């Protein structure tokens, strides 16, 4: 039996669609899937409408909808062109929650890879059970253990080297074989730590360099903060994104309790996804989530940067430009050190990097990222700078993309 609240949400999210197709003109996954209509924004809304009717009238559905909704990048580009204000990303989020809800008639459509990640996160506080490896970047650095301000990496930079390798492995094995392997791991999460053997070592070095540069930029700006090291938990972003809302609520409260036990009052975030989940999702499931959430760029001393003449191409993270409120600090800070340019698909017409689909649909993610790379390069010959580790890992095919922290570190005075 599906919660009536979920059905009502699905009804409200889909009923205003007039099937005009404007959303298909901006949806990154439609061309990337060779125009499979079920993997485009309009197709997802129409499937959502059909799913609502089936569940409302019959309590079940014979239509396989999982691949359509799980392949959505949640970039929210569609809502900015829809004359009716319909958001296919929101439809996908509701549908995923329906699929994963306890006792759902769609339970057979769950993805083993997704459940594997959820089970490991719930057990270890990290999607791959690699908390020691996640903290290794901080070796030799000093932190203020008495500070009520916490530098919170959210493990996102640290997970990218493994996500990249596992996505490539899944693409080679094929979806069926990968799902079988994940089916074993989801029942035996203790073995998921073996994934620590599979990583893109160059990406790991680059990500750890970014983390150390973020630390250095903050310290040069006079910020004092603590870091939890191996105790630092992943924020549970995948749980939310994959629709496991019951698990997300339980997990988010566990993370919040840890913050309280450590005396944390202010949290410095360093990536768009972690910032979003703490700022916008935790307050809805954690009672009295009264921590101050700040993004690290807001704490930097802008006077420490040396103006440069280099022309750079800035790729905007979707969470900063396609969701409200729009966050422009990366572009403003970059402009202090170089001449910032943006591709045609930017702002409210931004084009996603494809990264959020890397683990479940690596071939789709690769296709989206190749299209984005074409837009960014387009004969300009400029260095591409990103402000998100997922964008960085997915776009940096030829080691020609720079993380914003690394670029800013190159332009410190003196």
Are 226 and 150 in contact by the 8 Å Cβ rule? The answer is yes
Cβ partners under 8 Å of residue 263, min gap 6: 148
| pLDDT: which is higher, 230 or 167 | 230
List own/partner pairs for 28-32 with CB under 8 A and 24 or more apart.
28/73, 28/75, 28/77, 28/351, 28/352, 28/354, 28/368, 28/371, 28/372, 29/71, 29/72, 29/73, 29/357, 29/364, 29/368, 31/367, 31/371, 32/354, 32/364, 32/367, 32/368, 32/371
Average pLDDT over residues 385-395: 95
φ/ψ (deg, to 5) at 76: 70, 20
Tokens of 58: 């019959």
Query: 117-121, 144-148, 241-245: which has the minimum mean pLDDT?
Result: 117-121
Average pLDDT over residues 101-118: 89
Q: Per residue in 4-16, pLDDT tens?
A: 999 999 999 999 9
Whole-number Å distance between alpha carbons of 279 and 159: 21
Tokens of 11: 């009804």
Pairing of strands 149-152, 339-341: unpaired
Q: What is the 8-class DSSP label of residue 67?
A: H
pLDDT of residue 193: 54
Q: Is the pLDDT of residue 382 over 70?
A: yes
Average pLDDT over residues 322-338: 96
Place of tokens 């191409």: 313
Whole-number Å distance between alpha carbons of 10 and 46: 11
Average pLDDT over residues 382-394: 94
Q: Per residue in 78-98, pLDDT tens?
A: 999 999 999 999 999 999 999
Whole-structure pTM value: 0.92
Residue 166 banded pLDDT, cuts 50, 70, 90: low
Q: Is the pLDDT of residue 352 over 80?
A: yes
Strand order in the sheet with 383-386: 339-341, 311-315, 383-386, 401-403
Whole-number Å distance between alpha carbons of 160 and 393: 6
Query: Is the CA virtual torsion 293, 297, 301, 303 positive or negative?
Result: negative
Whole-number Å distance between alpha carbons of 390 and 172: 21
pLDDT of residue 190: 57
DSSP 3-state assignment of 27? coil
Cα 147 → chain centroid: 28
pLDDT of residue 275: 98
Residue 326 banded pLDDT, cuts 50, 70, 90: very high
pLDDT of residue 407: 97
DSSP 3-state assignment of 184? helix
pLDDT of residue 397: 83
The pLDDT > 90 percentage for the chain reads 79
Three-state SS string over 294-351 comes to EEHHHHCCHHHECCCCCEEEEECCHHHHCCCCCCCHHHHHHCCCCEEECCCCCHHHCC
pLDDT of residue 191: 47
Cis peptide preceding 290, ω within 30 of 0: no
Cα 334 → chain centroid: 22
Whole-number Å distance between alpha carbons of 263 and 225: 12
Q: Per residue in 172-222, pLDDT tens?
A: 545 655 555 455 455 555 545 555 556 788 889 999 999 999 999 999 999
Domains in the chain, CATH or no CATH each: 4-109 (1.10.1060.10), 302-409 (3.40.50)
Average pLDDT over residues 133-140: 95
Place of tokens 């959502």: 48
pLDDT of residue 343: 93
Query: 101-110, 151-160, 238-247, 363-372: which has the minimum mean pLDDT?
Result: 101-110
CA-to-CA dists, residue 266 to 158, 163, 290, 358, 376, angstroms:
22, 29, 9, 32, 36
């Amino acid at each position: 039996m599906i919660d009536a609240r979920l059905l009502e949400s699905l009804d409200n999210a889909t009923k205003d669609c007039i099937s005009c197709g404007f959303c298909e003109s901006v949806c990154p996954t439609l061309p990337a899937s060779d125009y499979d209509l079920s993997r485009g924004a309009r197709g997802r809304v129409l499937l959502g409408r059909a799913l609502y009717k089936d569940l409302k009238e019959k309590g079940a559905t014979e239509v396989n909808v999982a691949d359509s909704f799980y392949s959505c990048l949640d970039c929210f580009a569609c809502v900015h062109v829809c004359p009716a204000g319909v958001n296919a990303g929101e439809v996908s989020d509701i549908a995923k929650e329906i699929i994963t809800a306890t006792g759902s008639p769609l339970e057979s459509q769950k993805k083993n890879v997704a459940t594997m990640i959820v089970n490991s996160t719930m057990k270890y506080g990290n999607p791959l059970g690699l908390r020691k490896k996640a903290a290794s970047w901080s070796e030799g650095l000093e932190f203020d253990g008495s500070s009520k301000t916490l530098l919170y990496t959210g493990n996102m930079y640290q997970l990218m080297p493994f996500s990249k390798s596992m996505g490539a492995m899944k693409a080679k094995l094929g979806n069926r074989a990968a799902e079988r392997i994940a089916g074993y791991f989801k029942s035996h999460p203790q073995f998921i730590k073996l994934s620590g053997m599979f990583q893109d070592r160059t990406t790991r070095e680059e990500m750890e360099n970014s983390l150390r540069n973020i630390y250095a930029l903050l310290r040069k700006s006079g910020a004092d903060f603590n870091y939890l090291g191996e105790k630092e938990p992943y924020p549970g972003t995948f749980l939310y994104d994959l629709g496991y809302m019951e698990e997300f609520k339980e997990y988010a409260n566990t993370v919040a309790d840890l913050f309280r036990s450590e005396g944390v009052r202010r949290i410095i975030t360093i990536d768009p996804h972690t910032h979003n989940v703490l700022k916008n999702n935790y307050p809805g499931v954690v009672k009295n989530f009264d921590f101050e959430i700040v993004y690290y760029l807001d704490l930097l001393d802008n006077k420490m940067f040396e103006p440069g003449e280099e022309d750079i191409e800035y790729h905007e993270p979707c969470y900063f430009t396609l969701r409200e409120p729009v966050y422009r600090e990366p572009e403003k800070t970059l402009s202090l050190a170089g001449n910032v340019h943006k591709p045609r698909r930017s702002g409210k017409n931004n084009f996603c990097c494809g990264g959020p689909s890397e683990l479940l649909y690596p071939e789709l993610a690769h296709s989206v990222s190749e299209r984005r790379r074409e837009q960014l390069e387009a004969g300009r010959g400029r260095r591409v700078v990103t402000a998100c580790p997922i964008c960085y890992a997915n776009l940096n095919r030829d080691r020609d993309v720079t993380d914003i922290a690394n670029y800013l570190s190159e332009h410190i005075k003196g």
